[in-house]
């Protein structure tokens, strides 16, 4: 929570809002409409919460102009209340920064390059040749491999692993348990066994990227795995070797992107989506949750493939019918041919009769 409580004029300037019903309330935190007190600010977008808006005790509410009449307190008028709320919430509740310095239990190689005001937590290990940008925080138990590069003002939470020679840009947020730069899943069959293929590429991550807890990004086989600027990755996401994720794409939890897949810019990948390897997905594609993608998508748009939940008896019947689709298709084609032959015979008979 911010120690300095800004007034409403300051918050309005922060999000370029029109301020109405101005009070002298000092805002210290964000809260829901129902739970807010005079030192809190909330936001309103959904009419199902109109009653909460009309009865809120918040010091101020962020909303659109058409809802201002229902607001009993100060209002910040904006076009996009949710985005403005996110900006103000980040301002009022900044992350607590660790003090600069190296914890006595951390192991840092002699030739590691450290920028100004770097913080390195307990039991972190940073190998030779690594480069850590100014203002970056390395959490407790982190592992930074040889010649890895971390940009300025990034935050690696506890127990993050960055493999050798991998690159993370500036202003990154990497949550606990993330593994960047483990070997890709590369094996060549032969002789009744599987021969491991050395994974010689890197993972290269741009600026302003956030990666959720326990996600994994594999290093490339020969080329690099690439995550462009502004990408946001949720928890428990897997990115396979040599994949390329375009700028400002967001990927929700438990999604899987197989190797050598190229995902365009400004895409939205829903939770538990599975994307096969060696395909391309165009810019501006939205994949709804649990979508299975088995081929390239060439045009922007919204795509989905999962079946909704059904009563188990109905699901079993439909599953059996699904397995019979090929047989039904063959029978329909056979019937179509028989019908076509019958029509030709009738036409011939009419011609001969005339």
In this predicted model, what pLDDT tens digit does every residue of 171-216 receive, in sequence order? 999 999 999 999 999 999 999 999 999 999 999 999 999 999 999 9
Pairing relationship of beta strands 193-196 and 187-190 according to DSSP bridges: antiparallel
Count Cβ neighbours within 10 Å for each residue of 258-284 and write b for 16 or more, e otherwise.
bbbbbbbbebebbbbbbbbeebebbeb
Q: Which two tokens stand for residue 247?
A: 């700028």
Name the most confidently modeled range: 298-302, 322-326, 346-350: 298-302
What phi and psi, each to the nearest 5 degrees, are found at residue 246? -75, 165
pLDDT, tens digit, 9 for 90 and up, residues 45-80 = 999 999 999 999 999 999 999 999 999 999 999 999
Question: In the structure, what pLDDT confidence band is assigned to residue 307 with cuts at 50, 70 and 90?
Answer: confident
Answer whether 238's CB lies under 8 Å from 216's CB: yes
According to DSSP H, which parts of 33-175 are helical? 50-55, 81-92
Residues 177 and 73 in one domain: no
Residue 163, burial from CB neighbour count under 10 angstroms (0-12, 13-18, 19+): buried
Same domain membership, residue 267 and residue 123: yes
Contact 227, 205 (CB under 8 A): yes
- Please tell me which residue, 353 or 318, carries the higher pLDDT value: 318
Number of structural domains in the chain:
3
pLDDT above 70 coverage of the chain, percent: 99
- Helices in the chain by DSSP H: which ranges? 8-14, 50-55, 81-92, 312-323, 325-353
Which pLDDT score, from 0 to 100, does residue 82 have? 97
286 closest CA partner among 298, 273, 270: 270
Q: Which domain holds residue 54?
A: 8-92
Q: Quick check: is 23 in a domain? A: yes
Does residue 22 have a pLDDT over 90?
no
pLDDT for 263 beyond 80: yes
Residues 184, 70 share a domain? no
Percent pLDDT > 90 in the chain is 89
* CB-count exposure of residue 8 (10 Å: 0-12, 13-18, 19+): buried
pLDDT confidence of residue 196: 97
Whether residue 29 sits in one domain with residue 170: no
- Together in a domain, 148 and 249: yes
Predicted pLDDT at 212: 98
Can 83 be counted among the known catalytic residues?
no
Task: Work out the mean pLDDT of the chain and round it to a whole number.
Answer: 95
Counts of helices then strands in the chain (DSSP H, E): 5, 37
Catalytic residue, from 175, 238, 241, 244: name it. 241
Instruction: Return the pLDDT at 2.
Output: 44
- State the DSSP code for 264: -
* 132 shares its domain with 227: yes
pLDDT at 58: 96
Residues 286, 321: one domain? no
User: What is the pTM for the complete model shown?
Assistant: 0.90
pLDDT digits (tens, 9 = 90+) for 76-131: 999 999 999 999 999 999 999 999 999 999 999 999 999 999 999 999 999 999 99
| End-of-domain residue from the set 45, 64, 92 | 92
Give the confidence band of 353 by pLDDT, cuts at 50, 70, 90.
confident
């Amino acid at each position: 929570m911010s120690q300095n409580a800004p007034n409403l004029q300051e918050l309005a300037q922060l999000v370029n809002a029109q301020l109405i019903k101005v009070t002298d309330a000092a805002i210290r935190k964000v809260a829901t409409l129902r739970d807010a007190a005079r030192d809190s600010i909330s936001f309103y977008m959904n009419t199902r919460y109109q009653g909460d808006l009309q009865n809120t005790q918040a010091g101020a509410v962020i909303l659109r102009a058409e809802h201002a009449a229902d607001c009993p307190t100060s209002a910040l008028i904006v076009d996009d209340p949710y985005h403005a709320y996110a900006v103000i919430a980040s301002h009022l509740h900044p992350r607590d920064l660790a003090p600069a310095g190296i914890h006595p239990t951390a192991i840092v190689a002699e030739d590691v390059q450290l920028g100004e005001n770097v913080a390195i937590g307990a039991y972190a290990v940073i190998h030779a040749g690594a480069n850590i940008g100014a203002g970056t925080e390395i959490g407790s138990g982190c592992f930074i491999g040889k010649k890895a590069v971390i940009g300025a003002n990034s935050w690696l939470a506890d127990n993050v692993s960055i493999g050798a020679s991998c690159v993370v840009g500036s202003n990154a947020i990497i949550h606990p348990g993330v593994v960047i730069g483990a070997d890709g899943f590369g094996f060549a069959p032969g002789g009744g066994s599987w021969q491991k293929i050395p994974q010689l590429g890197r993972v290269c991550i741009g600026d302003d990227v956030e990666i959720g807890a326990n996600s994994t990004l594999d290093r490339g086989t020969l080329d690099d795995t690439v995550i462009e600027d502004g990408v946001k990755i949720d928890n428990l996401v897997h990115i396979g070797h040599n994949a390329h994720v375009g700028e400002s794409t967001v990927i929700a939890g438990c999604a899987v992107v197989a190797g050598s897949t190229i995902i365009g810019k400004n895409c939205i990948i829903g939770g538990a989506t599975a994307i096969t390897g060696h395909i391309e997905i165009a810019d501006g594609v939205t994949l709804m949750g649990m979508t299975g993608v088995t081929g390239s998508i060439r045009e922007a748009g919204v795509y989905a493939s999962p079946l909704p939940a059904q009563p188990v008896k109905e699901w079993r019947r439909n599953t059996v019918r699904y397995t019979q689709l090929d047989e039904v298709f063959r029978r329909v084609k056979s019937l179509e041919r028989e019908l076509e032959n019958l029509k030709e015979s009738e036409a011939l008979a009419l011609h001969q009769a005339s």
